[in-house]
Amino acid sequence: MHEMAYLKRIVNAVVTAGEQEGAKEIETIELVVGELRDFVDDFVQGYFSFCARGTIAEHATIIMERVPFTVQCQDCGKVYRFDLRDDSTTPCPACGSRNYRLKTGRELFIRNVRMVMPGEDACTAGDGGTLPDGHLPPLPTEAPDGRPVPAAAGC
C-alpha cells in the first residue's frame, strides 16, 4: 500500500517542519491529491492519526483537495476529463484523436500546514503558522498499485 508509505512521509515532513518552527501543535494539513491516487478520506485521516500518535501532529485534521484526472490532446490541444473505467472517454471529444498525454491527476503534495505556535489557541492561530508552497520536500510520483496509467501519459 503506497498510501501508507506516503502518509508516514507526510507525518515526518510536517512534524519536522513544525518542530523547526517551534510549533506547539499541527492543526490542519492541506493535501492536494490527484484522482489517480488511491487516497480514501476516512482511511487517510485514521491512518495519519495513527502514524502521528505522540507527535505534535497527533490531532491534525487532514484536508484533501482532489484534482480530477485530465489529459490533453496532442493533436488539437483540448484538455478533457478521462475516466479509466469508461473507454468511451478515451478519444478526444473535439477531434477524436487518441494521442493524449496526462495533464492532471497524479498530484500528491502538501499545499499548506497550519500550526499552533506557543501561546496561541488553535482557533486563533491565523496564518501565522503556515508554510509557503515548496517548503516541504516533494513526494514521489510513481503510479499507485493496481491502477493502469495510460501508456501515452508521459511525465
Chain positions contacting Zn ion, by CB under 5 A: 73, 75-76, 78, 92, 94-95, 97
Rounded least distance, CB 154 to Zn ion, Å: 17
Phi, psi (degrees; rounded to nearest 5) at 34: -70, 155
The smaller minimum CB distance to Zn ion, of residues 6 and 82, is found at 82
Q: Which is nearer to Zn ion, 4 or 95 (CB)?
A: 95
Category of 126 on φ-ψ map: left (φ > 0), alpha (ψ -120 to 50) or beta: left
| CA separation for the pair 111, 107 (Å, rounded) | 11
Minimum separation from the CB atom of position 94 to Zn ion (A): 4
Nearer to Zn ion, 59 or 98 (CB): 98
Please write down the HEC assignment for all residues of 80-121: EECCCCCHHHCCCCCCCCCCEEEEECCCEEEEEEEEECCCCC
| Residue 29 Cβ vs Zn ion, minimum distance, rounded to whole Å | 38
Residue 55 Cβ vs Zn ion, minimum distance, rounded to whole Å: 48
92 vs 116, which CB is nearer to Zn ion?
Answer: 92
Q: Tell me the sheet residues that pair with 30.
A: 63, 112
Dist CA 43 CA 62 (whole Å):
11
Report in angstroms how near the CB of residue 83 gets to Zn ion at its nearest. Answer: 17
Q: The C-alpha cell of 30 is what?
A: 492541506
**Based on CB atoms, which residue is closest to Zn ion, 73 or 131?**
73
The CA R_g of the chain, rounded to the nearest whole Å, is 18
